[in-house]
Structure 1
Amino acid sequence: MTVNDDSFTHWKNREEIAESMIPIIGKLHRERDVTVLLHSRSLVNKSVVSILKTHRFARQIAGAELSITETLPFLQALTALDLGPSQIDIGLLAEAYRGDDRGMSVEEFTAEAVAGATGENKIERREPRDVVLYGFGRIGRLLARLLIEKAGSGNGLRLRAIVVRKGAGQDIVKRASLLRRDSVHGQFQGTITVDEANDTIVANGNTIKMIYSDDPTTVDYTQYGIKNAILIDNTGRWRDREGLSKHLRPGIDKVVLTAPGKGDVPNIVHGVNHDTIKPDEQILSCASCTTNAIVPPLKAMADEYGVLRGHVETVHSFTNDQNLLDNYHSSDRRGRSAPLNMVITETGAASAVAKALPDLDARITGSSIRVPVPNVSIAILNLRLGRETSREEVLDHLRNISLNSPLKRQIDFISAPDAVSSDFVGSRHASIIDAGALKVEGDDAILYLWYDNEFGYSCQVIRVVQHVSGVEYPTYPAPVV
């Protein structure tokens, strides 16, 4: 047998193992509301090749490829446990077991590591929490995809309705088509049917009512069987408490804004300050995509090195706020053609840092340039640190944060030398550290942070909604604080 034959046989063996994982992962998700992760990446509804690629990706951040033969025994061990709703990272289980010297079996080690999700400790499965989308643009449609995806277990969050202004001619058909196919994010994973007579879309079995209204104060959501719902305003039309309070109608319990909030509206970056949300808070903001990209790495650096001051420059993809061709715009430069120009503009991300990190005693400034790409942006974070360090030390710190800390769902890490923006379309992280671009000299550090300003941000919004709804389930093994 040749070397090539050996490689092919090895690949086919790993394919067979990945195939055996799929029904186990699916059953845990459907029947017990358990999401199986691998280094914070969900394996639910993933293909054989996707599962193998996720194992291989660990090599970029942990230094060695994670073998699927290592993780399978931990997945099998989970099936024998009396598990409650939770997220379980079999990659972290395998790595922790490798470093454990107590001589325990895989079954014993797994039972100990996830004890908080078993037996008397387990969380009871909750009734689904109703969610309403107010607006159905770029972010709204991605939120819909994520909500439909996460409804797979029958618990958690359930998208009940979408509120929009009614357009002329086949409005619901056209909106369903935009949900079904996206030029940036590809095809919707599943089936979508439209019932024009009843103004409903059925997506993967989820019946979603289309409510037509231009005035939130006229809608009674209880008429549609909606109760105690979380409404996500992705229009940006209202950004202060007075305006967003218009949404607090019968059937709506809380309002979440997908733009920076004004006045006393809390600006929340999941992973950083979501635990400050008061139980009785009815109105909150998820800040901006750029704020979500820079605040987690900024916190990671401040906690370890201290930050005296900083500047963030965002190179941002164009958005629907700009013009396709030169035309009148209330902003000075955004009226110029978005796909033909780099456009200097303002960003509120730097000022929003103070709301998310009130204990950070450092002045952070910021500016932005819109560039002719439809999605994925990069933030260049230039920091003066509280002490001198080295490039190697910072890389090790950020790599560890992306793997083992409470920020691992927010911060990703890539060491590929040829990475470019399109590689990060569909990233579920708020921010991806580009290891090759990092610069450190004494107490100066420059971080290059990629982020999918549409999908990555939408994932952060869903995490906040899960938290306030009470369906943000604990992760095991527990992250290292």
Structure 2
Amino acid sequence: MIPIIGKLHRERDVTVLLHSRSLVNKSVVSLLKTHRFARQIAGEELSVTETLPFLQALTTLDLGPSQIDIGMLAATYKADDRGLSVEAFTAQAVAGAIGENKIECREGRDVVLYGFGRIGRLVARLLIEKAGSGNGLRLRAIVVRGGGEADLVKRASLLRRDSIHGQFQGTITVDEATSTIIANGNTIKVIYANDPSEIDYTVHGIKDAILIDNTGKWRDREGLSQHLRPGIDKVVLTAPGKGDVPNIVHGVNHDTIKPDEQILSCASCTTNAIVPPLKAMADEYGVLRGHVETVHSFTNDQNLLDNYHKADRRGRSAPLNMVITETGAASAVAKALPDLKAPITGSSIRVPVPDVSIAILSLRLGRETTRDEVLDYLRDVSLHSPLKRQIDFTTAPDAVSMDFVGSRHSSIVDAGATKV
């Protein structure tokens, strides 16, 4: 399976999934664990002997760039009563990605990371991981403020080793003479600048790039517009945008992006956690009102030890306290779901864990339901709906926060904790 998955990704820009989990660049053990995980959401374990024939069938087709879920193929084939062969069924199921319907491979798109903190380094890891086909996003440069001695080596070291997400999967070397980091063969220019106005990206061969601002320094259109310089076509903010900057929660309102929109926000982590299931519940049951209580990991904005902070409570030691603070997630819901008229309130408590947060979403629904009905519905949403890449589902009775470190889903429904 591994060479087939790799070849489809490299040569045709096809990402093979299993129940919304990418199988690209995965080890033997990871493939087996992903198949085994299917029993938690589909009710029964999935064997590699069941999915391999569909993978082999894909290699015979004239596929264009696409994402294909072999777990869904296997499940729908089992329920199909037409007596088709695996090859014929697969060809019908992926008809939108083959022949005249297929999307032609596009040229790669340059990406610049403005800032290289925790989020920036995670984005860098993802971009490098997905660079195999050469047709997607290519990380070309990182912009940081000038550092001290061995600055480049230290930044590369932070990319190589992460206290939460572990070792970088691959090789990283540094060329201080050219100010570049080479990660898995990808040459990434490190540009030192204190302000966007100091940079001419075209000098580095960068054109029509997407700039991802992960500093949080500017969050309105005026500030983020400073990035729109020669070589930069669009700006994406990894924090909630202010004013008229569109807050995009992928899977929910990404289809509202106008082609000529140059500045976008990805909203906050909590917004991405609550909006997909909130949309799913509103679509099925109607929502009259709601409240979200997020028990949130501490962040770099808080102090390690008690010290002055411009916010009221964030000056108190993050590893020692539960810190009540505000969350903009509730107000951000209105931007992502403008048709939802129900009032949504929210509050947040920062707690001494380094990653993964709990969002307790309490909803008053438009009609009566039962716990089993809600769980069956959300399980189905996580498997078959347009939100399947955003929403995951777990029935593990002993799951705790650290079990979800590294999850590629923005929201995991904890079945055992659900109440009606």
TM-score range, shorter chain: over 0.9
Which ranges of structure 2 fall in alignment gaps of 5 or more residues? Answer: none
SS at match of 1:439: coil
2:381 corresponds in structure 1 to: 401
1:97 corresponds in structure 2 to: 77
SS at match of 2:131: helix
User: Deviation string for 1:114-169 (max 9, x for gaps)?
Assistant: 11111121111111100000000000000000010110112100000000001111
Structure 1 residue 106: Cα displacement: 0.3
The answer as to 2:214 corresponding to 1:234 is yes
Structure 1 ranges of 4+ moved more than 3 A: none
2:292 corresponds in structure 1 to: 312
1:140 corresponds in structure 2 to: 120
- 2:116 partner amino acid: F
SS at match of 2:319: helix
The answer as to 2:218 corresponding to 1:246 is no
1:479 corresponds in structure 2 to: none
- The higher-RCO structure (CA 8 Å, 6+ apart) is 1
Q: How many residues align?
A: 420
- 1:238 partner amino acid: W
CA distance in 2, matches of 1:362, 1:115: 40
1:324 corresponds in structure 2 to: 304
CA distance in 2, matches of 1:154, 1:128: 6
1:266 corresponds in structure 2 to: 246
SS at match of 1:197: coil
Which ranges of structure 1 fall in alignment gaps of 5 or more residues? Answer: 1-20, 441-481
SS at match of 1:352: helix
1:437 corresponds in structure 2 to: 417
* TM alignment of 1:40-189, pairs within 5 A: 40-189=20-169
1:9 corresponds in structure 2 to: none
SS at match of 2:130: helix
- 2:323 partner amino acid: V
CA distance in 2, matches of 1:272, 1:246: 28
User: Deviation string for 1:179-231 (max 9, x for gaps)?
Assistant: 00000000001100000011000001110000000110121100100000000
* TM alignment of 1:359-370, pairs within 5 A: 359-370=339-350
1:461 corresponds in structure 2 to: none
CA distance in 2, matches of 1:27, 1:168: 43
CA distance in 2, matches of 1:245, 1:362: 33
User: Deviation string for 1:414-473 (max 9, x for gaps)?
Assistant: 000000000000000010000000000xxxxxxxxxxxxxxxxxxxxxxxxxxxxxxxxx
1:355 corresponds in structure 2 to: 335
- 1:424 partner amino acid: F
CA distance in 2, matches of 1:206, 1:188: 14
1:286 corresponds in structure 2 to: 266
CA distance in 1, matches of 2:260, 2:64: 27
CA distance in 2, matches of 1:92, 1:302: 25
TM-score (norm 2): 0.99
User: Deviation string for 1:93-117 (max 9, x for gaps)?
Assistant: 0000001000100000001111111
Using the TM superposition, name which of 112-121 and 206-215 deviates more: 112-121
- 2:184 partner amino acid: N
* Greater share of helix: 1
User: Deviation string for 1:364-395 (max 9, x for gaps)?
Assistant: 00000000001010100000000110000000
SS at match of 2:88: helix
CA distance in 2, matches of 1:411, 1:305: 17
User: Which of 314, 323, 326 is the matching residue for 1:343?
Assistant: 323
- 2:50 partner amino acid: E
The answer as to 2:174 corresponding to 1:199 is no
- The Cα RMSD (Å) is 0.6
User: Which of 272, 275, 278 is the matching residue for 1:295?
Assistant: 275
CA distance in 1, matches of 2:177, 2:127: 24
CA distance in 2, matches of 1:121, 1:389: 41
CA distance in 2, matches of 1:395, 1:76: 34
2:15 corresponds in structure 1 to: 35
CA distance in 1, matches of 2:167, 2:280: 35
Name the % identity.
87
